Structure 1
């Protein structure tokens, strides 16, 4: 994105289900970008429609909404306008989630736990540079080149392994899984062993944690 001219109006969309978060972000944007026009929504379902209607150039969106997860909205936003810049502003842990949002189309990622100066920097960088990534995010992107599984380790599982992993996470035991899938119990045990080896985990607690983290 080119650096904005003094008189160029920049159209923002703030998408967060908490009004106080949107209002606080709007105040910062007004201070940093005096020529901003700001639209707001509390619903992830309205994001793409508001982009179409208002010619949004920069979207600042939460990761989770009561009506859905914005991870699946980002590709729709980029399909509607490949040039839109998307800053994810969220409470989700950066080290666990940032790579998934980058893959989905995010131009930046900043935590709601960040201090005001960092949030200001994120807004400024998105406006003037077209992206904002912290040193942690940049380091993870470099690591990703060597280890594609960083985005989602569950991607290393086969379809059957993922199915059984999810059944374990839902509380099914070996016998129930075997009966439900019409396979032998020792086959389930073998697949469980393969799952643990691929994910480099040792118990079901770790598996459940991975499922919950990466199936958002």
Structure 2
């Protein structure tokens, strides 16, 4: 546990938008914390910051121009398990929170949250080592009975997952059909089932899911 009365808390603010980082500074100041902030706007700066400073708390956006931050979260936790990570993002908590917690994050907070909730989340991360919002608590409870919430690819059959991975590798309907020795319209039907089960609309979203959960 880290308290306000100890030495300065080293906090990394990682977001590609300067205004978000500056807004977080305002909230940290309002909380009366004894802290030192380090800024990062991309993955390279995140790695440099982690390697150069003894970071206690990392507040990280879920998405950067380079892609989502799932890999960087796992990387941080593998090398520095003591660092507490709070994901602060505008993406849908109900859809994405569990995969970030599964990657090693200690909390997930929406950028739509009120200032008081943001401040409380930071204090919980500092004093309790985690922040679990009511929405995420519900997700966690539901995931105990439905592991597909953690990994949506588990909704797919073995054949559907095989086809999904082929699509994510850049193959088209005809190529997949030839490789699996089935008709092209069969692959088209499987594709529709995959999209429906995963609640996605295009190959880009499928590639992202495969990358995040494979």
- What range describes the TM-score normalised by the shorter chain of this pair? 0.7 to 0.9
Report whether the alignment pairs 1:4 with 2:3.
Answer: yes
When the two chains are superposed, the root-mean-square deviation of aligned CA atoms in Å is 3.1
Partner of 2:92: 93
1:100, 1:151 within 8 Å by CA — same for their partners in 2? yes
User: What's the TM-score once normalised by structure 2's chain length?
Assistant: 0.83
Is 91-100 or 155-164 further displaced after alignment? 155-164
Change (3 A) 1:212 1:117: farther
**1:65-118 deviations in whole A, cap 9, x for unaligned?**
112321111111011211110000001100000000000011111111111111
Q: Aligned to 1:13, what secondary structure does the other structure show?
A: strand
The number of aligned residues is 209
Partner of 1:183: 181
Q: Aligned to 1:201, what secondary structure does the other structure show?
A: helix
**1:120-171 deviations in whole A, cap 9, x for unaligned?**
1111111111111111101111111111111121134467533423666879
Report whether the alignment pairs 1:140 with 2:139.
Answer: yes
Q: Aligned to 1:184, what secondary structure does the other structure show?
A: coil
The whole-number CA distance in structure 1 between the counterparts of 2:199 and 2:121 is: 36
Task: State the 1:23 CA deviation.
Answer: 0.6
Q: Aligned to 1:117, what secondary structure does the other structure show?
A: helix
Report whether the alignment pairs 1:192 with 2:190.
Answer: yes
Partner of 2:196: 201
Partner of 2:123: 124
Partner of 1:47: 46
2:195, 2:202 within 8 Å by CA — same for their partners in 1? no
User: What's the TM-score once normalised by structure 1's chain length?
Assistant: 0.82
Q: Aligned to 1:73, what secondary structure does the other structure show?
A: helix
Partner of 1:24: 23
Unaligned runs of 5+ in 2: none
2:177, 2:187 within 8 Å by CA — same for their partners in 1? no
1:33-72 correspondence runs (5 A): 33-72=32-71
Task: State the 1:40 CA deviation.
Answer: 0.3
The whole-number CA distance in structure 1 between the counterparts of 2:125 and 2:22 is: 19
The whole-number CA distance in structure 2 between the counterparts of 1:206 and 1:53 is: 40
Partner of 2:14: 15
